[in-house]
Structure 1
């Protein structure tokens, strides 16, 4: 069992208010992974399919393999970082190590060698993806696992996670906006744009540099708190013993229902991420300037979401707030496509259509942001609930297993998106406005019911989450009581109260 903190240190940790600089630097860490993730989810399938010329099934298969690999790396990194001992604590060594490899691999994936066969390009792409996923886990998982220690208060941790979520969305969308307006800008004569390879070099270089700087700055921003963070006990444990501990930690009802909900949500997000740009370019026939404005709408949505999430969570509770916002986000996401299929949306190319989509992106993004913040904060609340039951502090393990299932099924979702494109016979080197309407309609008819089914299960699972504010505060009380008892036993020693120290010769 992990030795609890002393009462003094526990109280100090619980009462501590992080400085604004620390909160900003910690939160900014979310931008590094978001720049990487947003780039891969928005452009990678389109880039390797429409620009490089790989069949969509090959691209989506590589993405799926990389996500599944990443998913199984997560719990290993989580368990190791929970029990790692160094003068820089449990988490920070992994975070520092991640910066350079993930930045280099992200640059390389957008600059494949010329003249290679499809199989060679597939292997190159997959290798880059595996390196990106591995070292991004080295940073993102330990960094996320710091949140429950940095902010123990029920509402404070929602605010801290909301700030990290804001930087994540703003960073990812901001880099996407730069891609549309600067690096992958479409020229007046129709040349350039996301379908031209030459712009991806500058985009990749800028993104890689930002990822490197953000990881180092965010890690250094919490470095001074290392002495206050939990230290794992020195112990020897067998593989079987560790497996038992893992199983015991994960056997938490609230964690299980959050994981199941996340599985179905992530599968939907995998499908959505793979096909979103196809819908914008070919279903709605938006220009890149319009796509840039929708990216701005996403930033507005993230500001709204991060501002409102703590208020909604405080008023409704995290669970009920997440359920309500989740349902609203699904309606906003799927509503316009459903209305188009029944002929109730304005024609493509009209300003009225664009502004409907603009408002819809804000509504969907704000509610999705609030949902994500509250779900992450709910996972953080499981940490103390698990510690009460097991006696072990296992933030890394809990966050990693939550990510494991999400990444596996999101990989399946991306694979499904590639299969959908192949099933509807989506054309190679497609031109905006030149794709057959029947192909687009079939794509939408598969997309809508698939996402609606998965999202319905994800929302339904959340009703079984049981840790509210009162339960969390009771868990904190029990942990402090345990810490006080352990401190009293140490003070008493093996034979009774400690004797006063002897002075003099």
Structure 2
């Protein structure tokens, strides 16, 4: 796919393989844990629901503080790295523990408490480890070409983790049980996270630490309120995060509400629906590399705009599709734009972080990645609210036969409403100031600064 810049392919593959556990355990947990505790283990629905809600609120509040902790913590290996090296094994173990409930559901308090405590422990360790792993990206890959190449690998591994996290848990559980599924996924997450460590070059980091006579200006901690202020008044970041929120919301609406469209508009089975989604991801998998070639040539801003527009155009056929084959073909076209959107996230946020570094003389990757995670996490409740409103307003009924208004509502949810979200995302992104020329200038200034220091 062209030159990779200064980093070897081995280093890039080692680092980006962390996308597998990032998606593997998070999707398995998010998709199945409530079902497991309420339907499989027969836990009290209300108590488990309350525990899930509190856990979700806790995770949202925790995000910025984890980012701040990441930015201000230094060690013999520099920043970020210790959280990954020492967090991989505890993260895998806590994921296993979630699926190993020792109390029967009849002991409601103990059963719910166990679920709540293990979920909180898992969620804390997951976010702490993954915020730091993500925050290493701009530091490790510093040119646009290098970032595009690394991001292509990262999204390839991410898609593998996504498919595995969604499809494999139930299949594994049917054969060896949910508890063993938790153990298998926990071990896989530990193994794949540990494969990222060679990319971090611990010996080089240790030598640099020993040779350092005084702290670098960029390592000086910024007060937490000041750090939050600088983050939320950053024009590039706010434009980027507004775009990301609405583009991700469009994708979330599509995937979350596809079941209604598949069942009532297309009248297809669950297996056929899985194939429909899988086709989109199969197309997206190789195309992340194509976008990796395009980005250095036209710049991340132009590439992102193109990807969003292609994504939106690919939604149009879903408004009219009446057959399974037509929907599958439309799904394949979605993969073209979606692959670009996925691949460009790390490239764009790295450019934002570089500009912030020049403005504040601080490296604040942790704060930016954690706030990004927080904002994106709000997609789920917003999607649930929008879906509920549309279902109610269009006359959705639990009976098998749906009125024409409800059938239109399903098409609206997976095509028209996501298209509206993409348009709003484009409007936000039009205010993004870091075009190709400015990004190159920022990278040159940072390279000169690093050479002098």
TM bin, normalised by shorter chain, reads: 0.7 to 0.9
Supply the distance in 2 between the matched residues of 1:292 and 1:452 (Cα, whole angstroms).
22
Q: Which residue of 1 aligns with 2:65?
A: 76
TM-score, structure 2 normalization: 0.81
> Contact conserved, 1:92 with 1:223, CA < 8 A, in 2?
no
- Computing the radius of gyration over CA atoms, which structure comes out larger, 1 or 2? 1
Instruction: Give yes or no for the alignment of 1:219 onto 2:197.
Output: yes
Q: Which residue of 2 aligns with 1:106?
A: 95
Secondary structure of the 1:465 match is coil
> Contact conserved, 2:257 with 2:410, CA < 8 A, in 1?
no
Report the Cα offset of residue 167 of structure 1.
0.3
Count of matched residue pairs? 440
Supply the distance in 2 between the matched residues of 1:364 and 1:162 (Cα, whole angstroms).
17
Query: Residues 445, 172 of structure 1: CA spacing in aligned structure 2 closer, same or farther, 3 A cutoff?
Result: closer
Supply the distance in 2 between the matched residues of 1:289 and 1:268 (Cα, whole angstroms).
23
| Structure-to-structure mapping, 1:63-462, within 5 angstroms | 65-110=54-99, 114-116=104-106, 125-179=115-169, 182-183=171-172, 199-224=177-202, 226-227=205-206, 233=215, 241-272=223-254, 274-277=256-259, 279-280=261-262, 284-287=266-269, 289-291=271-273, 293-294=275-276, 296-333=278-315, 335-336=317-318, 338-339=319-320, 344-346=321-323, 353=324, 355-407=325-377, 409-413=378-382, 415-416=384-385, 419=388, 435-438=400-403, 441=407, 444=410, 447-448=413-414, 450-462=417-429
Secondary structure of the 1:86 match is coil
> Contact conserved, 1:259 with 1:402, CA < 8 A, in 2?
yes
> Contact conserved, 1:42 with 1:277, CA < 8 A, in 2?
no
> Contact conserved, 2:27 with 2:166, CA < 8 A, in 1?
yes
Report the Cα offset of residue 371 of structure 1.
0.8
Q: Which residue of 1 aligns with 2:440?
A: 473
Supply the distance in 1 between the matched residues of 2:208 and 2:62 (Cα, whole angstroms).
24
Report the Cα offset of residue 379 of structure 1.
0.7
Q: CA RMSD in A?
A: 3.9
Q: Deviations over 1:159-192 (max 9, x none)?
A: 1122111101112213444446x4266xxxxxx9
Report the Cα offset of residue 105 of structure 1.
3.8
Secondary structure of the 2:332 match is helix
Supply the distance in 1 between the matched residues of 2:172 and 2:121 (Cα, whole angstroms).
24
Q: Deviations over 1:119-153 (max 9, x none)?
A: 87766555444333221112211111111111111
> Contact conserved, 2:144 with 2:296, CA < 8 A, in 1?
no
Secondary structure of the 1:437 match is coil
TM-score, structure 1 normalization: 0.74
Give unmatched runs, 5+ long, in structure 1.
Answer: 1-14, 186-191, 193-197, 347-352, 428-433, 488-505
Query: Residues 115, 54 of structure 1: CA spacing in aligned structure 2 closer, same or farther, 3 A cutoff?
Result: closer
Supply the distance in 2 between the matched residues of 1:60 and 1:118 (Cα, whole angstroms).
13
Q: Deviations over 1:395-425 (max 9, x none)?
A: 1112122222222x12423643785699577
Report the Cα offset of residue 464 of structure 1.
1.5
Query: Residues 108, 406 of structure 1: CA spacing in aligned structure 2 closer, same or farther, 3 A cutoff?
Result: same
> Contact conserved, 1:258 with 1:462, CA < 8 A, in 2?
yes
Report the Cα offset of residue 233 of structure 1.
3.1
Supply the distance in 2 between the matched residues of 1:321 and 1:383 (Cα, whole angstroms).
19
Q: Deviations over 1:63-88 (max 9, x none)?
A: 55434432332222222222212123
Give unmatched runs, 5+ long, in structure 2.
Answer: none
When structure 1 is superposed on structure 2, of 324-333 and 386-395 the one drifting more is 324-333
